[in-house]
Structures are given as C-alpha cells and as structure tokens.
C-alpha cells in the first residue's frame, strides 16, 4: 500500500553482499548510539541534583570493563574491515569469462557498443545470469558510471581505461546514472540498463546488422598499416599480437604486465609507457588519431587474434 523505496532493488550477484555490510553497519551504529543515549538519559535523571543516591563509591578503575571496551569494538571494526575487503576485491576482480561491452562517456551521454557492433545511446542491454565486463573511457571530462540496483560504480576518465563488472540476477529495467558532476547537463546524463533473458538478448543483438567490432577493428588495423610492424614474423619491428591477450608480458624495464584491454589500449595511445622486452621504442602514438570507438574496435580485433590461436592450439 505504501510504495516508497528506501533503497534500490538488489538485482546483481554483488548487491545482496553489499547490502549485508550496509545493514550490519547500520545495526552496529544503532546499538552503540542507542546504548550511549539511553545511559546518558538514565544517569542524568538518577544522579541529578537533590536525588537521594549514594555518591561515595566513586569507581576509578575496572580492568575487565576497560579491556572489554577496547577489544570488543576493535574486533567488530576489524571484522567489518576484513568482510568489506573481500567484497571490495570481488567487485574489482572480474571473472575470466565475461561478455565485454565498451562504454564511452561524453558530455552528456553514454555511448555503448556491443561486440557484435550494435550501438546504443543511454541504454545498456545485457543478458541475465552472465558476467558482463564494461570497458570504459571518456571523451572529455571525468564521468562516473553508476547502476544503483547492481551496487556498482566506477569513474570514467579521459585518456584512461577503467573496467567494471557485474552479473545481473533479475530481468527488467534499472536506472543508470552519471555520478560525477561533469557540467551543465550532468543531471540529465542518465539512462537505463535493460536485463533480458539470454535468448531475448540474442534476438535483440541480431536486430542490428552492422559491422562487428572485430571486423571494424581489423579494417582500422589494415588501414593504419599496423601489420607492417606487428606482422608476427620473428624479425618484425614490433611484437606479434596473436595469442598475446591474457598473457603475462615481460617489459624492457624488467617489470611484467598482464595483457588486458587497458594495457592494449594504453600501448596504442602511449606506446612508450610499457615497452615489450627486446623491442625498440619506435611506435608513434595514435592518441587523437584513432577515435575512442576505433580504439575499442582495435582492442576487440587484437583480442580475437588470441581466441583463434587458442582454438588452433587446443584442436
Ligand atoms: Cu557525466 Cu556527470
């Protein structure tokens, strides 16, 4: 009868876990605040001026009491910390097998591209019960991708690539917000996440007959002459790209890095940030030359090179 939502629906695998921490913190705060408040009122009444009470037994020391007020709150606080740390790590560590969707924030809209090439603005269609990873960047200022019903939120930064993952557990339509003030129309930078059954999602995707992200990326790769250096030959000027995705790469300065989307994107726009061991730093930057959409398509293509080699080696 009274439909006033105190907090959003819990529609992802992580949402109930975040809520459990939230309500535990509310309960702990309530217990301690009420305990203190009730004792203040009780003592204020009982020991007020003129009350006939014994004031001689002044307590100056009580070791068990002092130890308990040190160690009980300490245990509670550390317990909440450890619990939150586990959930925080899971929010930030996507599973290996995700559906990857690319998101670009710009004043003032969200542009989304699916691997099949399907594009959408201010809408994000995803299948239920499937881990989805968003790879995000901004074309102008800092935005923040926020889906309250999934309890996830992450900054979207110009010149950097951030990721966010979730697994939806309910079909339906949920709010999508920009949660970082980004200029005049920030408050209107909103949209919807539409969670669909797996089959409905596939039907929805097939309604769009554009070029897949992989194919579009391959076109850019060829047009820009990337293969003249990244030819895959042993004496090529640049490292081979087939089979690289997901592998650990040794760098010239002795560090290692896992070749994920963010690393590949960084290597295209800032080639000198991480030089692969054994190769000269000769690659020019493509920052501002290839659009953000194009960069995401290139990554989808470079990633697909590794899928094929994996298939070939396992056959
Ligand atoms: Cu984009 Cu606020």
Question: Confidence band (pLDDT; 50, 70, 90) for 2?
Answer: low
58 burial level (CB within 10 Å; 0-12, 13-18, 19+)? exposed
CA of 79 to the centre of ligand 1 (A): 35
Give me the torsion for CA of 81, 82, 87, 88, rounded to 10°: 60
Question: Confidence band (pLDDT; 50, 70, 90) for 32?
Answer: very high
| Atom number in ligand 1 closest to CA 156 | 1
Radius of gyration of the chain (CA): 27
Question: Confidence band (pLDDT; 50, 70, 90) for 73?
Answer: very high
Residue 238 has pLDDT above 60, yes or no: yes
Question: Confidence band (pLDDT; 50, 70, 90) for 308?
Answer: low
Least reliable range by pLDDT among 18-27, 99-108, 185-194, 204-213: 204-213
Whole-angstrom Cα distance, residue 106 to residue 183? 11
94-106 average pLDDT score: 90
CA of 242 to the centre of ligand 1 (A): 37
Least reliable range by pLDDT among 69-78, 169-178, 244-253, 285-294: 285-294
**Contacting residues for 87 by C-beta, under 8 A, at least 6 apart:** 14, 17, 18, 21
| Most confident region among 14-23, 54-63, 208-217 by mean pLDDT | 14-23
Contact (CB, 8 A) for 101 and 132: yes
Question: Confidence band (pLDDT; 50, 70, 90) for 208?
Answer: low
86-104 average pLDDT score: 91
20-40 average pLDDT score: 95
| Atom number in ligand 1 closest to CA 107 | 1
Question: Confidence band (pLDDT; 50, 70, 90) for 285?
Answer: confident
| Atom number in ligand 1 closest to CA 180 | 2
210-215 average pLDDT score: 79
CA of 22 to the centre of ligand 1 (A): 26
75-95 average pLDDT score: 94
Residues with CB under 6 A from ligand 1: 105, 108, 143, 178, 180-182, 186, 189
Least reliable range by pLDDT among 9-23, 30-44, 237-251: 237-251
pLDDT of residue 311: 47
pTM: 0.71
pLDDT of residue 80: 95
Residue whose tokens read 């959408």: 120
Residue 312 has pLDDT above 50, yes or no: no
Contact (CB, 8 A) for 74 and 106: no
Higher pLDDT, 127 or 209: 127
pLDDT of residue 292: 81
CA of 113 to the centre of ligand 1 (A): 19
Residue 309 has pLDDT above 60, yes or no: no
CA 195 to chain centre: 18
CA of 203 to the centre of ligand 1 (A): 31
């Amino acid at each position: 009868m009274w439909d006033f939502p105190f907090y959003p629906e819990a529609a992802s695998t992580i949402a109930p876990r975040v809520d459990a921490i939230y309500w535990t913190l509310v309960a702990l705060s309530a217990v301690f605040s009420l305990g203190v408040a009730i004792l203040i009122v009780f003592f204020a009444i009982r020991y007020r001026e003129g009350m006939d009470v014994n004031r001689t037994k002044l307590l100056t020391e009580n070791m068990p009491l002092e130890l308990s007020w040190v160690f009980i709150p300490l245990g509670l606080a550390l317990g909440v910390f450890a619990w939150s740390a586990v959930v925080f790590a899971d929010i930030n560590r996507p599973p290996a097998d995700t559906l990857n969707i690319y998101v670009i924030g710009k004043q003032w809209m969200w542009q989304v591209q699916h691997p099949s090439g399907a594009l959408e603005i201010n809408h994000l269609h995803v299948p239920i019960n499937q881990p989805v990873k968003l790879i995000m960047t901004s074309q102008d200022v800092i935005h923040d991708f926020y889906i309250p019903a999934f309890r996830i939120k992450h900054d979207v930064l110009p010149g950097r690539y951030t990721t966010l993952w979730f697994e939806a557990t309910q079909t339906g339509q949920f709010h999508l917000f920009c949660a970082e003030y980004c200029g005049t129309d920030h408050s209107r930078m909103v949209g919807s996440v539409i969670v669909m059954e797996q089959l409905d999602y596939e039907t929805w995707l097939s309604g769009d007959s554009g070029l897949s992200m992989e194919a579009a990326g391959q076109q850019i790769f060829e047009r820009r002459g990337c293969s003249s250096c990244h030819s895959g030959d042993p004496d090529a000027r640049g490292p081979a790209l087939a089979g690289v995705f997901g592998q650990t790469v040794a760098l010239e300065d002795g560090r290692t890095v896992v070749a994920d989307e963010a690393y590949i994107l960084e290597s295209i726009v800032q080639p000198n940030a991480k030089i692969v061991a054994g190769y000269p730093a000769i690659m020019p930057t493509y920052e501002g030359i290839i659009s953000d959409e194009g960069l995401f398509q290139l990554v989808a293509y470079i990633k697909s090179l590794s899928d094929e080699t994996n298939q070939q080696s396992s056959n």
